[in-house]
Amino acid sequence: MSIPFWCIFIAALLIYLAKIPVARAMSADGGYDNSHPRAQQARLNGLGARALAAHLNSIEIFPLFAAGVLMAHTTEVFGWWVDLLAILFIVSRVLYLLFYWRDLAWQRSLVFCIGLFCCLLLMLSPAIRWLLVTL
């Protein structure tokens, strides 16, 4: 399996790792309400609320990353560039979670933008390769 495909797997795992602090906060709030978890999550504040937001953002960004990797793969754009972008995305997502949990707002926004930029570059990699070959 290629590095970018491993990164898709890791990004999927990060979605569920991001849920751990949410579950802990819910448990601390009178126990995990498995009958109405969304209502309980809506009442979270502090770290619990930030962890929930980080978890939801991880779900939102995942399709963009997976699409970018698959676009690069199906158009046979391989090599160090795609590997680098995929690894950089994973690093940015790990930092994003840590920064969100610690309430470091500008740092979180910065690494979010880096991760988003990686996704967009992965999606554009076939066009970038075409430009480099034709010039």
CATH (domain of 32): 1.20.120.550
Q: Predicted confidence band at 63 (pLDDT cuts at 50, 70, 90)?
A: very high
Across the range 36-60, mean pLDDT stands at 92
SS3 of 45, please?
coil
- pLDDT over 90 at 98, yes or no: yes
Q: What's the pTM?
A: 0.91
* Residue 71: DSSP 8-state: H
Residues in the chain: 135
- pLDDT over 90 at 100, yes or no: yes
Domain count along the chain: 1
Residue 106, domain extent = 3-134
| 101 CB burial (10 A radius; 0-12, 13-18, 19+) | middle
